[in-house]
Amino acid sequence: MQRICLFPGTFDPVTLGHVDIINRALPLFDKIYVGIGINTSKSPMFTAEQRMKWVADIYANEPRVESVVYEGLTVHFCKTIHANFILRGIRYVSDFEYEKTIADANRTLDNQIETVFLTGEPKYTSVASTIVRDIIRNGGDASPFLPDLVAKSL
């Protein structure tokens, strides 16, 4: 059985922290879908198409990484793409507490899908899309937090 993983998130925008988690997950999985979730309670800064394109461009030479857009429950989408793992990045202990609650709910909904947590590299701990969006909105230079491809496209 292939080890297929969904890395869900908003990726608004894709940060160095996201890329770090994806790169370190590559040896663990045969396929990683970067799932750009459409959350009706959020108003993203960038279109889903733009976020999907960033991932596709960053991983143009890595066929095991594919970006997709989805709506609804993550475990339901996992079934659609035949993913048996959900990947989540953890920066702080508070992230783990929140993510564990979601993982427990997902396991209750479908116990065939396992959540895998990877801790971010310490140098990316402070990198959060929310902070990056605030920097961009206020005319600051967000490039230290972004892959070159993303920074150059802003």
Q: Would you kindly state where each structural domain of the chain is located, as residue ranges?
A: 4-153
Residue 139 Ramachandran class (φ > 0 left, ψ -120 to 50 alpha, else beta): left
The first and second tokens of residue 2, run together, are 């292939």
pLDDT of residue 15: 96
Cβ distance 32 to 2 under 8 Å? no
Distance CA 70, CA 36 (A): 6
Mean pLDDT, consecutive 10-residue stretches, the chain (154 aa), reads 95 96 98 93 91 97 97 96 97 90 97 96 88 94 95 93
pLDDT recorded at residue 141: 95
Rounded-to-integer distance, Cα 135 and Cα 145, Å: 10
Give the per-residue pLDDT at 116: 98
Which are the catalytic amino acids? 18, 42, 91, 129
Residue 47's SS3 state is coil
Class of domain 4-153: alpha beta
The neighbouring-strand residues paired with 36 are 9, 69
